[in-house]
Amino acid sequence: MSAPQTLIVTGTAGFIGCEVALQLLARGDTVIGIDNVNNYYDTQLKRARITRLQPFKNYHHHEFCVSDANAVNALFAKFKPQRVIHLAAQAGVRYSLENPAAYITSNLAGFCTILEACRHHQIEHLTYASSSSVYGSNTKQPFSEHDNVDHPVSLYAATKKSNELMAHTYSHLFGLPTTGLRFFTVYGPWGRPDMAYFKFVKNILAGQPIDIYNFGQHRRDFTYIDDIVGGVIKASDHTATPDPDWRSDSPDPATSNAPYRIYNIGNQQPVELLHFIGLIEKNLGIEARKNLLPMQPGDVPDTFSDVSALIREVGYKPDTPIELGVQRFVAWYREYYNV
C-alpha cells in the first residue's frame, strides 16, 4: 500500500498477530492492537511479544476480549481504522474437547462483535483467520478452497467454518469486503507452546519422551511464520471483490457475488512428522525418546494446501525451506529459554 493506514489487529499478543503487527508498524502503518492476554498458555511469552511492539510509537495496545462489544466499538470510534485483521481466537483442537464454552465466547461471539463493528464503522476490508481444520473428514488432497467443508471433526474447526459463513452473511447483506485465510500449521520463532513442535523441543532438551500421535504417520503442511505474515498482509491490502463468474446454480464455496473470498495459506509441501522431528534432533544434537501413540480425537492424519489462488491473486510466495525454518526455531528457543 502506498499511503500509511490505521489498522486494528486483534490477537497482537499471539504468535501470528504479533508478527503481523511488527511488519505493519515497520512499513509505517498505525496499529491498534487488541488482546485479552488469557492464560491458555504462558502469559509471560505473550507479554514478551507485546514488549517487542511497544518501541513503535505508532502502536497502541488495548487489553480486553473481542467479545466486549462496548470496548470494541469505542476503539473503532476513537481510531477510525481503514482495515481490520482479526487474528484473536481461542486456539487449539484438543482443548476444544475440554472447554467448548471458551470457543463459543471467543470465536463466535467475538467474531460477531468484530463484524458488527466493521459494518457500522465502514471498514474497507476485514481479513480474518480461519483454519485448515475446516477440511475435517475430507481426504481429497491437496485441500482446495473450492471443495465442500461441511464435515468438521472438532468444535474448534466448526467455529472456524462458522466464521466463514458469518463473514459471507455480512459481505452479502452489508457489502462488507471480507477475506478468510485458512492457516496450515504455522511454526517458527516466538511460536505457541501448545503446538507439537514446541513441546518436542522442550521435552527433548529436558530428557523427557515426546508423544507422537498416529504412530508418527501424520503429514503436515508446515508453514514458516515469515511466509504466513507476508501472505496475511498482502491479503489485507488486496480488498475482496465480487466474483463476476460466480453462479448460484453451481456455487463456488471460495467466492461469491458478494465481496467475499476464502484462501488457503500454507506451504504446499507436506512433511512427514517423523522427518520434522528428525530435523529437530539434528539441530539439537540429541536423539528423541519417542512415545508412539494412536490418533487423537479431533485430529486429522494429513494436511496439504493448494495455495495457487493466493499466489495468483495476491502475490503470496512461501519460500522458507523446512530445514531453515526448524533451524531458526531451535536457535530462538535455546536463546529465549537460555537452554
Residues 250-303 have pLDDT tens digits of: 999 999 999 999 999 999 999 999 999 999 999 999 999 998 988 887 677 788
Fill in the amino acid letter for 108.
Answer: L
Is residue 209 domain-resident? no
Fill in the amino acid letter for 328.
Answer: R
**For cell 500421535, what's the residue?**
213
Q: List the CATH number of the domain containing 248.
A: 3.40.50.720
| Per annotation, catalytic residue among 41, 128, 135, 156 | 156
> Is-cis flag, bond preceding 152, omega within 30?
no
Summarised one tens digit per residue, pLDDT across range 39-79 is 999 999 999 999 999 999 999 999 999 999 999 999 999 99
Cross-strand bridge partners of residue 169:
none
Is residue 244 domain-resident? yes
Structural domain count of the chain:
1
Rg over CA atoms, the chain: 19
Burial label, 96 (beta-carbon count in 10 A; 0-12, 13-18, 19+): buried
In the structure, what pLDDT confidence band is assigned to residue 2 with cuts at 50, 70 and 90? low
CA–CA distance, 264 with 273 (Å, rounded to integer): 21
pTM metric for this prediction: 0.96
Is residue 88 domain-resident? yes
Is residue 137 domain-resident? yes
- Bridge-based pairing of strands 219-220 and 271-272 is antiparallel
Of 91-100, 157-166, 169-178, the poorest mean pLDDT is in: 91-100
All three cell numbers of 331, joined, read 536457535
Is residue 102 domain-resident? yes
Q: What are phi and psi of 100, to 5 degrees?
A: -60, -30
| Active-site residue flag, 156 | yes
Q: Which domain holds residue 41?
A: 6-188+224-266+304-319
